[in-house]
Chains A and B, each alone.
Chain A
Amino acid sequence: MIDFVGKRYWFYLFSMLVVIPGTISLILPNGIREGIEFGSGTTFGFRFEQPVETEALRSALAELGHPDARIQRTRDGKFLVRTRVLEGGVTAPAIGPAPPSERENLESALEERFGTLVDSDGQPIHRFLEFSSVSASVSSDIVRNAALAVAFASLAILVYITLSFISVEQPVRFGVSAIVALLHDVLLVMGVASIFGRLFDFEIDTLFITAMLTIVGFSVHDSIVVFDRVRENARRAAAAGADVTLAETVNASLNQTLGRSLNTSITVVLTLIALILLGGETVRDFLIIMLIGLISGTYSSIFVASQLLVSWEEGDFAGLLPWRGGRTEEQPA
């Protein structure tokens, strides 16, 4: 039997080492880079004389500094592109030649790669058919609303777990520990997104929000499975009148559920790796975020949620609370 409980401080240390850098990055200015959906931008439409593949255009635009452009082809072969705000620039200064605007640069760069830009009748015009500013396509409220929804869901989960664990002592602790593990996973992933934003220009978009929701669901699911075993073992110990501490019960439960935890993670990780390796380029970032979150979800249910139960029972953190003055927590009757 592996002694998980005895090494819990190491696990807390490890979690902090992983979570804190991301959290710092998150708190610092520009903690998270919002994707183009959340801000205003520019859309422009154009048509080439020769047919062009969407993927070729995507990589060309990425080279021209717009890796996040939303590219759509209409059924009659026109491209519609949405980017961050571009300087339109047909407004020439009063004196001297006008400097080429971002728009003009883009027009000539695209012509250089893919051939002449034409109008709807196929006549060369060397410019975009339409060019206008657009508002945000996804209200930034969605981030706030999703966060609020997760907060409410956490409260509901707290209530459900407490009620479901009412037969064991201190049922609230199970709920709180599961929610702390959930916050651990959310913070970790947000932190990773923030660091990736600084290092690789990673931006959050609507897919990222879904990934976060998925991680929340998985994290709670995983914690409850372990807790359920703790509940069962605690009940049985009580019925047998055996004198076992919660630490022993939790440790035994973790050992019993370890096979399941690992196997479930392996199946999900296998699925995601298959999708990452073979799925389209556009969803890869999203899948990587999911993968990190799901691994964190498994880790936190074993090494955070369950260990917190023990720490709470043993009064590990009492010394950290000034008003408790280092007193050990009262043992439940």
Chain B
Amino acid sequence: MRRRSTQLALAFIAILTVFSVLVVWPSDPDRYLPDFVPWPEPGCVGPVCIGKGVRLPYIAIDRSTIRIDYLERREMRLGLDLRGGTRLVLEADISRNPDVDLDEALDSAVEVVERRVNAFGVAESITERVGNNRISVQLPGISAAEAIEKIGRTAQLQFMEMRRDAQGNVVIRNPDGSTSSMPFDQVSQSSSLIQLAEWTPVTAVGSDGIRREITGTYLDRGGIFVTRNLAGLPELRFEMNEEGAKLLGEATARLSNPPQPMAFFLDGEPIRGANGLIIAPFVRSQISDRGVIDGLSLSEAETLSTLLRTGAFPVPLTVVQQEDVDATLGDEAVVHSVQAGLIAIFVVMAFMTLYYRLPGLLASLALFVYVSLTLAVFKLWPVTVTSAGIAAFVLSVGMAVDANILIFERMKEELRVGRSLVGAIDAGFNRAWTSIRDSNVATLIICVILYWFGDQFAASLVKGFALTLALGVAVSMFSAIFVTRTFLRALIGSNVMQHLWLFGHDVEEARGPRAAEAAVRVGGAGLD
């Protein structure tokens, strides 16, 4: 029974390892790995390609369609310090409102940029104010077009109604560019005419008695989220702040009698639904503090909610410069680190094997499983790997080995007091378990708190470190205990078990009565 479960576990580990190695295999091995080893030529087997990263099929559900999508991950996602990325320079334009305090506006614009960077999951960016009216932001691993789309949007939301002429007729923009006007009743009957209507900002009188446009400024940032309605379609819910609720209440009281359409514009462009049409629902009753925008696709709803949540820029910003930049630590640093890391791991393996003999060799194999598995998780998640992340990874390698060292030291102790090898293996794992558990749980607690702090204070550096270390510790417990134990159990009953010296056990010492006596004394109060 035990033999069978060990074989199953071995097969599981083997499959997992092969899969991880294929996932991790660099797309350009010649760059990172020594050239005296003949590396295999790139090629594909099913969904996994050596030298091209991984392509995994998964089932994607968006709206009512279910399709097979592919997760493609060609390269490890590396941070700005290791790989570089895109640099955008945004310039503030104060020509339209010259009395704004530029200094203050730029400080809050930097905050908006950082909130967006974090909200979109781009880790480890560098945001700086340059000169007196510019912001420079560097983002790792995304293209300039993506960066502009995510970070460069002004994100000014406007609530719009149909423009009327002096007679109260709706102004329609004809396909040839000319305008004409039509009675409201005729337009409201025809969805295609609504699409052609001209729009103008909805205004209302604020608490200070001044009439102003209703914009995203009046949104309550905490109250914006994407939900699904009863039909399962995504919708964007928003809440207004106190002043916004007053303004919107007044405006919708007017727009609901008779019901008139209201559209939403982002940065001067109408928000269009998944079908490409302008979203312009009819206001049927007075709404004040909250509203819903539906008809969006899920990804649009999510992008929109993030843009709104992170706020609009206090001044219009335009992208004046974009360029791809190299790694801040220098390109050589990555190659050197990868090579040094490989050598370091081999040195550790050699040390473990020489010191602990057969169990050390098995621990080295487990370490190999550990390294490939952790790197595969980093790549697939994906985790942005920075030099700080590499530090966390090195530490977790140390902890992975530490668990094995704890176990093997215990095994040797048990052998010394005359236990059988099988008994010593089991006792070694059982005795070492509490220290492995407590020390790793403590490390995980540190990670959770660091992550939470990083999240609270937008310190993405701290967050990235905590995530990397936590992943490493979790995988290391799996490899040190499950993998090493499986390897050792697989040997039970084989010939090597006859040679105790392979397990670092000095037979002479064990036979002597003094050894057992010494062990009892060392234990403080006798071993059971």
Residues of A whose CB lies within 8 Å of any CB of B are 1, 43, 54-55, 58, 70-76, 78, 80, 132-138, 141-142, 145-146, 148-149, 152-153, 156-157, 160-161, 164, 206-207, 209-211, 213-214, 216-218, 220-222, 224-225, 227-229, 231-234, 236-237, 239-240, 242, 244, 248-249, 252-253, 255-257, 259-260, 263-264, 266-268, 270-272, 274-275, 277-283, 286, 290, 294
Contact = CB atoms under 8 A, between A and B. Distances in A.
A141 B111 CA distance: 14
A218 B402 CA distance: 11
Given A153-B450, A206-B461, A216-B446, A75 B323 contact: yes
A262 to B, nearest CB: 9
The 8 closest A-B pairs by CB, nearest first: A280-B333, A278-B340, A149-B453, A274-B344, A210-B388, A228-B435, A237-B525, A242-B525
Contact of A225 (B87, B394, B406, B522): B406
Contacts of A275: 337, 340-341, 344, 394
26 contacts: A54-B331, A72-B84, A78-B323, A135-B110, A135-B128, A135-B130, A145-B454, A152-B453, A156-B445, A157-B442, A218-B398, A220-B446, A221-B443, A225-B402, A228-B434, A229-B435, A244-B524, A249-B524, A256-B413, A256-B522, A260-B406, A264-B402, A278-B339, A279-B333, A279-B336, A280-B334
Contacts of B441: 160, 164
Given A70-B328, A242-B524, A279-B336, A224 B435 contact: yes
Contacts of B266: none
B343 A283 contact: no
Given A210-B465, A217-B446, 8 more contacts: A132-B130, A132-B134, A142-B462, A153-B446, A153-B449, A236-B526, A257-B409, A283-B329
A174 to B, nearest CB: 10
Q: Size range of the interface on B?
A: 35 or more
Contacts of B179: none
Given A54-B326, A72-B325, A240-B526, A271 B469 contact: no
B227 interface: no
A91 to B, nearest CB: 16
Given A74-B87, A141-B457, A270-B351, A224 B336 contact: no
The prevalent SS among residues of B at the interface is: helix
A194 to B, nearest CB: 21
Interface string B36-75: 0000000000000000000000000000000000000000
B347 A157 contact: no
A145 B453 contact: yes
A252 B524 contact: yes
B132 to A, nearest CB: 8
Contacts of B87: 74, 80
A195 to B, nearest CB: 22
Given A153-B450, A164-B438, A228-B434, A134 B128 contact: yes
A242 to B, nearest CB: 4
A148 B456 CA distance: 12
Contacts of A74: 87, 323-326
Contact of B399 (A157, A221, A240): A221
Nearest to B85: A72
B371 to A, nearest CB: 12
Contacts of B527: 236
Contacts of A43: 128, 130, 136
Interface string B418-442: 0000000000000100110011111
Interface in B431-488: 431, 434-435, 438-443, 445-447, 449-450, 453-454, 457, 459, 461-462, 465-466, 469
Given A142-B459, A225-B435, A279 B340 contact: yes
B508 to A, nearest CB: 19
B398 A283 contact: no
